Amino acid sequence: MSDKPEFWFNLKTQLVEIGPQSLSLDRIGPFPDLESAKAGPEAIIARAKALREEDRKEWED
């Protein structure tokens, strides 16, 4: 196990947590650093858009 802290973004409180402090339903992560965790929601949205576009292209082929 690593001594390096993990960062989580709590979707309910909109706050970053160091280590898992809340229910797994309420948080996303882990992220490697504080800045990545703060940008977590935007990263999830971008990933979801990319996956939808990939799916759309597969259906069109």
Q: What are the tens digits of pLDDT across the range 1-36?
A: 568 999 999 999 999 999 999 999 999 999 999 999
Residue 2 lies in a domain: no
Mean pLDDT of 35-49: 95
The model's pTM is 0.77
Residue 15 lies in a domain: yes
Q: CA–CA distance from 6 to each of 10, 37, 57 (Å)?
A: 13, 9, 35
Residue 36 lies in a domain: yes
CA 54/CA 8 separation, integer angstroms = 27
Cα 30 to chain centroid distance, Å, stands at: 7
User: Which domain does 29 fall in, by range?
Assistant: 7-60
Residue 12 lies in a domain: yes
Taking residue 43's Cβ as centre, other Cβ atoms within 10 Å add up to 14
Residue 23 lies in a domain: yes
Domain count, the chain: 1
Residue 1 lies in a domain: no
